[in-house]
Structure 1
Amino acid sequence: MRTNYLKALAAVIVLLAVGVQSTPVVQRVSAKANPWNFHATLKPSIWYSFNLGPSDSGAVYVTDITPLRRSVDGAHVQSVVHPVYDGSEWNDVLEVRLPEPFPKLQVLITVYALTGLEARMDWTDSLQPGVWQGYPVGASADATGPYLADIDPLQASEAGATFERIYIHPEAPWENRFWDILRVQTAPWLPNNLDARMRVYLAPNLPMVSDMHITLHKSDLWAGFIIGPSSLKRGYVVRAIALDPGPEILPSDLNQYMIQPEFDGHTWNDVLRIQAGNQDADWEQVEYEFQVYACDRRSCP
């Protein structure tokens, strides 16, 4: 089901422009079980940071944000997991934000830690500050199931150093063939290059809960599709598969895609949000298959 959600577009554009802002206090989450749960009260316009553990642990994380109260139409919760340097070590940090002007909200946060997955890519490189660097994972047609990225910085940096974007996208950079590409971007204000080990895992055993054929138009700045009610308490992993063949395919058509809880005036739903890329290129529409996989107590014990 498609949802327009134009009310939040301005907030999203601001987020993309300024990046993720750290909060004064980072809370360490005690992992007594896998999955583990904790409650939080979100006040608007604050990034709440939860330290999940060292970035070199080898674990990758799937998270779920379940709102526990009704809200106002258009309310939504943003979240991201990425490495953050605290001045002495790199940690994987979950950051959660309720944008303005929505009222404060109580949520249940569930974190699934996945280990022992099959590595499809293992690459070490020096990352330039603020550069949108890309690394091939494999031909899009050669793998079944979703990918999860694990970034392990290998050297010290400035306190607060982080990664602004980490995505795996289908691209056609050569051979007129789609490849899955890991894209990473460090904060542009870092003083030096950052050496990092980058791994991409395949999780073929996660159950698929949605398989959508979507025509993405250039005018779709922030297209939305309901995956299911937030009350299901499921974390999600999304894989985008480009379907357009032929000599006119673009090198990359997606800027980002994510799933977040949104309130429609009656119910909280988990919504897939897609942002088109290449706004300056000559194209009108492109075809994609979006596969959504679920992580819950049965599939991610």
Structure 2
Amino acid sequence: LVSSGWRGARVEDIMNSQLAHLEDFIGTRIKLEGPHVRLTSAAAQSLGMALHELATNAGKYGALSNDTGQVDIRWNIRQEEGTNRFEISWTESGGPPVIAPDRRGFGSTVIERMTRIAFGYPVKLDFAPEGLHWHLISVDDRVFEADFVAEVKDSSVDLSRSPRSPATAQSSTAGRRVLVVEDEAIIAIDMAAALEDAGFCVVGPVGSVYEAMKLLDEQVCDCAVLDINLAGETSAPLASRLLTSEIPFVTVSGNTQESITEEFSQSPFLSKPIVTSKLLSKLSTILREPDHVVS
């Protein structure tokens, strides 16, 4: 990503990077097949971390932990309803019998929650006895860089945690439901963890207007945190809905406050990188304000 000027990365380069320690298996026990595709930096980060976690688990417990197992990795561009959607699957076979884990840790966060934020759909993770299967698909084409080529081939943010707020400061946030809309998966996961530490019940996080609208249809939210610029779109329609529903929200953006549009002008604004203590303070304030308007 750095060498490309943060303009994304090709899937095969991500594969080569995250499977480098298994290069002796590529072409024999690890089979790769898919088109040339360049993903955005946000999608590339999430996919790379997921592949690293899957490869680590396969080497420790799965198909690559013995002498006979195999891993089949396939990716494709699926055309549906006039849009291109990226999909990828990781399928293991021939390894020890698979047993689903009793608890979900950081690994499951990476291969399930983080990729969902970046690609827009929940992943399918099947701990079948004959081998683990992981499948990911994007909600639309926002994960592609504009210059990607669909040619089939053969072979910084500071979200440092602040100490848990005292009980007196937490009283206005404990149990309150906050919708988190942020398309940078690493930021979103860390933000959600910090909010949960502060007593909030986090709805999401999600990385698209579509997913956020769907959550608002299904769940009641007390407040929200909105990143203005999502991958390929703006959260302005979501801000308008929240204003109409009188649900207060905090706006976050990498741009200056002067550049925001009318939909966000009535909400408190935080510039990236986000300091957790400031975010918690803004949320506490808007939850106390009867008219939900904060300068």
Look at both structures and tell me which one has the larger radius of gyration over its CA atoms: 2
Higher RCO, 1 or 2 (CA under 8 Å, sep at least 6)? 1
Same-fold call, TM cutoff 0.5: no
TM-score scaled by length of structure 2:
0.26
TM-score scaled by length of structure 1:
0.25
Higher strand share: 1
